[in-house]
């Protein structure tokens, strides 16, 4: 069963062969979807026939968003913490530990239902590929459980036992790193593709982060790093040195950090939802792009510091606050997100790619930044299946 989507006013392909710029925008376009893949891309007037036909009526189509950084296996609620922070009140009830306690207490079914709800919420906003980290269990069994549950929803699963030191190890962080690089890794590696660490003052220092990432890599997991979010630190340099797929946050960078990213294959993944939700200064995307670094955008969706699943919101903030052009931001949320996950089958509209498509209720992808907060999703296909 093939489907012709025609009458596309503006098609973002992320393939320079089809049009100017990194977005490869093609006007007056059509796409044929067959067997879950893109079978044809070109001018609508030249489109081949198909079994089914959808008229985009002049609206824009782009690749489904690739959200390469999210924390969605959790239970509980931190509304009070957010409300206190935004009301200028001190909040001392435990932050991430609140989520760890609630997650440990939840049943498998509760965690699975919660995750399914957020993956569905993201899908309805155009996200067709989503990464998902553990990190709210912090015991061997709870971390392995989180990854097992995540793996049922996405292949992009990340072992983040090194999110924070587990409360039981508050007085023995070295012992916790031994656990993370030993028995916990043994239990988690079969369910994970990636290994991640929160390399930050108050979490894990450079030596600890190196130990976590190299142990994971020895088990076949590819590194990605929470780096330089709250201050300067060794995270970005470590990510580049170890060939990590991405260094995430990148809010506080030295010139040497920027140069290291620009000279590497490591993607700088910026997560403006976190700065938005904590009233922190935004990362400087312009500086990274001008230096030649690859910049991706992701939600960092989590209940503490960035509870949004909206890639469109991140695009709008990146354009308004981080010096990105609308084209750069849309590219970052699709093609570069795919690169951050080392995927070539998603994040672009090209023959052979997975048929992940977002039809906007707008004539151009620029509306994602031009009309912030407006629900613009008209239809979503994931692997050729119409989901919205
Ligand atoms: Zn994160």
pLDDT tens-place string over residues 13-47: 999 999 888 999 999 999 999 999 999 999 999 99
What's the 197 CA to ligand 1 centre distance in angstroms?
9
What's the 304 CA to ligand 1 centre distance in angstroms?
10
Cα–Cα distance between 280 and 240 in angstroms, integer? 25
Reading phi first (left if > 0) and then psi (alpha if -120 to 50, else beta), residue 384 is in left
What's the 245 CA to ligand 1 centre distance in angstroms?
15
What's the 70 CA to ligand 1 centre distance in angstroms?
6
> In whole angstroms, how far apart are CA 299 and each of 14, 123, 225, 322, 368?
21, 13, 15, 15, 15
Cα–Cα distance between 86 and 98 in angstroms, integer? 18
Residue 374, both tokens: 């407006």
Predicted local distance difference test score (pLDDT) of residue 92:
62
What's the 88 CA to ligand 1 centre distance in angstroms?
24
- Give the CA radius of gyration of the chain: 21
Predicted local distance difference test score (pLDDT) of residue 94:
66
Give the helix/strand (H/E) hosting 4: strand 2-12
Return the DSSP state at 364: S
Listed residue (212, 198, 195, 138) closest to 170, CA to CA: 138
Angle between helices 96-105 and 140-151 (to 10 degrees): 80
What's the 209 CA to ligand 1 centre distance in angstroms?
15
What's the 299 CA to ligand 1 centre distance in angstroms?
9
Reading phi first (left if > 0) and then psi (alpha if -120 to 50, else beta), residue 221 is in beta
DSSP 3-state of 22:
coil
What's the 271 CA to ligand 1 centre distance in angstroms?
8
Burial of 70 (0-12, 13-18, 19+ CB in 10 A): buried
- As a whole number, mean pLDDT of residues 365-382 equals 98
DSSP 3-state of 182:
coil
Over residues 180-199, the pLDDT tens digits come to 999 999 999 999 999 999 99
What's the 272 CA to ligand 1 centre distance in angstroms?
11
Predicted local distance difference test score (pLDDT) of residue 89:
84
Cα–Cα distance between 369 and 137 in angstroms, integer? 36
Over residues 128-182, the pLDDT tens digits come to 999 999 999 999 999 999 999 999 999 999 999 999 999 999 999 999 999 999 9
What's the 69 CA to ligand 1 centre distance in angstroms?
6
Cα angle 78-105-189, degrees, rounded to a multiple of 5: 95
pTM for this prediction: 0.98
Q: Are 265 and 239 in contact (CB under 8 A)?
A: no
Cα–Cα distance between 168 and 97 in angstroms, integer? 11
Distance from the Cα of residue 103 to its chain's centroid: 21
What's the 47 CA to ligand 1 centre distance in angstroms?
42
Predicted local distance difference test score (pLDDT) of residue 90:
75
What's the 217 CA to ligand 1 centre distance in angstroms?
19
Over residues 64-119, the pLDDT tens digits come to 999 999 999 999 999 999 999 999 987 665 688 999 999 999 999 999 999 999 99
* Strand locations in 37-183 (E): 37-43, 52-55, 60-63, 65-67, 127-130, 132-133, 157-162
Over residues 289-348, the pLDDT tens digits come to 999 999 999 999 999 999 999 999 999 999 999 999 999 999 999 999 999 999 999 999
What's the 367 CA to ligand 1 centre distance in angstroms?
27
What's the 227 CA to ligand 1 centre distance in angstroms?
10
Question: What b/e readout covers 335-348, taking b as 16+ CB neighbours within 10 angstroms?
Answer: bbbbbbbbbeebbb
Predicted local distance difference test score (pLDDT) of residue 20:
84
Cα–Cα distance between 256 and 351 in angstroms, integer? 39
DSSP state letters, 115-132: HHHHHHHHHTTTEEEE-E
Predicted local distance difference test score (pLDDT) of residue 238:
98
């Amino acid at each position: 069963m093939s489907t012709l989507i025609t009458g596309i006013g503006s098609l973002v392909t992320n393939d320079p062969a089809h049009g100017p710029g990194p977005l490869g925008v093609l006007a007056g376009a059509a796409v044929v979807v067959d067997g879950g893949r893109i079978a044809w891309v070109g001018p609508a007037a030249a489109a081949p026939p198909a079994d089914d036909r959808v008229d985009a009526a002049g609206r824009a189509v782009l690749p489904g968003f690739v959200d390469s950084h999210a924390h969605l296996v959790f239970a509980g609620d931190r509304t009070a913490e957010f409300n206190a922070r935004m009301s200028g009140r001190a909040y001392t009830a435990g932050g991430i530990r609140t989520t760890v306690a609630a997650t440990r207490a939840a049943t498998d079914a509760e965690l699975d239902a919660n995750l399914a709800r957020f993956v569905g919420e993201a899908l309805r906003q155009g996200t067709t590929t989503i990464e998902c980290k553990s990190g709210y269990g912090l015991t061997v069994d709870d971390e392995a459980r989180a990854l097992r549950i995540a793996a049922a929803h996405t292949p992009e699963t990340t072992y983040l036992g090194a999110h924070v030191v587990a409360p039981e190890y508050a007085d023995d962080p070295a012992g916790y790193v031994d656990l993370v690089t030993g028995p916990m890794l043994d239990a988690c590696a079969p369910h994970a593709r990636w290994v991640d660490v929160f390399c930050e003052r108050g979490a894990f220092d450079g030596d600890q982060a190196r130990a976590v990432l190299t142990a994971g890599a020895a088990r076949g997991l590819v590194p990605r790093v929470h780096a330089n979010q709250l201050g300067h630190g060794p995270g970005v340099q470590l990510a580049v040195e170890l060939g990590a797929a991405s260094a995430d946050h990148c809010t506080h960078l030295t010139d040497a950090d920027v140069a290291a990213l620009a000279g590497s294959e490591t993607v700088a993944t910026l997560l403006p939802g976190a700065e938005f939700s904590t009233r922190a200064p935004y990362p400087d995307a312009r500086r990274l792009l001008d230096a030649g670094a690859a910049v991706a955008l992701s939600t960092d969706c989590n209940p503490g510091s960035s509870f949004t699943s909206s890639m469109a919101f991140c695009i709008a903030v990146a354009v308004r606050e981080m010096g990105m052009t609308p084209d750069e931001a849309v590219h970052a949320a699709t093609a570069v997100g795919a690169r951050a996950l080392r995927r070539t089958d998603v994040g672009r509209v090209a023959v052979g790619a997975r048929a992940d498509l977002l039809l906007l209720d707008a004539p151009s992808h620029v509306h994602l930044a031009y009309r912030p907060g407006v629900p613009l999703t008209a239809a979503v296909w994931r692997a050729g299946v119409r989901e919205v």
